[in-house]
Amino acid sequence: MAGKISLLSSLAPLPSRVGCALLGICFLTSFVMAQKAVRNLRPGKNQISIEFEGRQRSALLCLPVRHSMPESGWPLVLMLHGAGGSSANVIESTGWDLLGEAEGVVTLFPNGTPRDEGRPENFWRNPQTWNSGATESLSSGRGSAATKQVNDVDFLDSLIRLVWGELKIDRRRIYVAGHSNGAGMAYRLAFERPGMVAAVGVMAGHFFQNPREMRLDVSLIQLLGERDPFAPLEGGDAGILWLRMNVPPALNAPETWARMIGASIRHDTLQVDRDLVVLRWGPSPTGAEVKSIQILGHGHGWPRPGHTPRLPEFLAGPDRPAIDATREIWTFFRAHPRLD
């Protein structure tokens, strides 16, 4: 939450009245600084930088140029990059900014935390990651956000609140999408902030939290590549070269999510052909749904027909996108506003 944006990480214990007074002053100063970081947002691309729990965090926000704000406020989509990614390259690889401009959606692209926080991020030498809650994963090694226990849930919560403090955001249409390690983080944010997130869309990721009944219904759309070396459908050995480990089945997440939202764990098969296997769970008693799309012959990359993949095939597996993941996820999001 906004109160977590703090300059107090190194503050020594103080007598209660003095400490409380300084705490209030520092909180107010910190909140004002954070608000200034998202003030004067203009149509187009906006860089955001805030201090959060002693770290400099950043994001890129795209505000539609050719659309007027809807009466109910702007829909908001967060897109979380994968391990080694950044806000800049996830915009380029997914095209969410273009969809946002076409559909009248505010899109927000936060950055994770680099291994060495004193140097610029770099895919190979200084990768950025998210703390998806995994105790062990292909993205949780030395210097990762998970190893450092970076508080990414509260950071993203705070970022959303700062944006809706500056723009009129439709609180019923706040969505989070993610790829790979960012998919794991998207799962976690939706799981831990179900009152904030209406629906979650993931590509090539795992759900690492302990299942429980959710307080509110959050719909899920999952996309998986049949030949993904990092998130194999049935689990087991995953990774490339020296970076390998056993991972849980990526196909487990939809049934787990369906159980949490109170839907039947029996699925309907919507499509099976040479390109796709599409399954659906639900709707739940309140209308939430789970959808899973397996893209046959495809690997780990974000599916986007006509777009050159960022990573070579020997790293990410084959690029055979039968659908546009961004368009598919948005279509699902648009049909699933928050249900309360």
Long-range contacts of 266-274 (CB under 8 A, 24+ apart): 267/292
Q: Are 205 and 227 in contact (CB under 8 A)?
A: no
Instruction: Record the tokens describing residue 155, joined without a space.
Output: 């950071």
pLDDT tens digits along 133-147 = 876 655 556 778 988
Summarised one tens digit per residue, pLDDT across range 28-46 is 444 444 445 556 899 999 9
Does 33 share its domain with 51?
Answer: no
Query: Do 83 and 231 belong to one domain?
Result: yes
Mean pLDDT calculated for residue range 42-51: 96
| Domain match, 144 and 21 both | no
What does the pLDDT read at residue 18?
A: 42
In a domain, 320, yes or no: yes
Within 10 angstroms of residue 323's Cβ, the number of other Cβ atoms is: 18
Same domain, 224 and 168: yes
Do 24 and 100 belong to one domain? no
Neighbours of 142 (CB within 10 A): 7
Confidence check: pLDDT of 2 > 50: no
Residue with tokens 């699925």: 267
Name the strand (E) or helix (H) holding 20: helix 16-37
- pLDDT at residue 41, rounded to an integer: 92
CA torsion sign for 266, 270, 276, 282 is: negative
- Are 52 and 17 within one domain? no
Examine the pLDDT at 255 and tell me if it is beyond 60: yes
Residues 53 and 91 in one domain: yes
| pLDDT over 90 (residue 97) | yes
DSSP state of 122: B
Q: Which two tokens stand for residue 37?
A: 């970081």
Does 224 fall in a domain?
A: yes
One domain for residues 282 and 322: yes
Which letter does DSSP use for residue 141 in this model?
S
Q: Kindly state the average pLDDT of the residues 141-165.
A: 92
**Tokens standing for 95?**
């095209």
Position 141 scores a pLDDT of 67
Helix/strand/coil for 76: strand
Report the percent of the chain where pLDDT is more than 90. 69
- 8 A C-beta contact, residue 85 and residue 123: yes
Same domain for 176 and 291, yes or no, is: yes
Beta strands in 180-247 (DSSP E): 199-203, 219-225, 236-240, 243-247
Q: Assess whether 200 and 283 both reside in one domain.
A: yes
Long-range contacts for 45-51 (Cβ within 8 Å, ≥24 apart)? 45/97, 48/159, 48/162, 50/5, 50/158, 50/159, 50/162, 51/5, 51/6, 51/7
Range(s) of the domain holding residue 130 = 43-334
User: Does any domain span residue 149?
Assistant: yes
Residues 50 and 33 placed together within one structural domain of the fold: no
Total domain count, the chain? 2
Q: What is the pLDDT of residue 136?
A: 60
Residue 1 tokens, joined = 């939450």
Residues 271-275: what's their mean pLDDT? 98
pLDDT tens figures, 286-327: 899 999 999 999 999 999 999 998 888 888 999 999 999 999
- pLDDT category, 193, cuts 50, 70, 90? very high
Within a domain: 243: yes
The answer to whether residues 157 and 278 belong to one domain is yes
Residue 340 lies in a domain: no
Q: Is the pLDDT of residue 74 over 60?
A: yes
Residues 231-252: pLDDT tens digits?
999 887 887 766 777 888 999 9
Of the listed ranges 12-26, 120-134, 183-197, the one predicted with least confidence: 12-26
**Global model pTM greater than 0.95:** no
- Residue 209 covered by a domain: yes
Is 107 contained in some domain? yes
C-alpha distance from residue 332 to each of 26, 175, 291, 337 (Å):
42, 10, 9, 10
Is residue 339, in this structure, part of any structural domain at all?
no
User: Nearest Cα to 57, choosing from 194, 173, 136, 150?
Assistant: 150
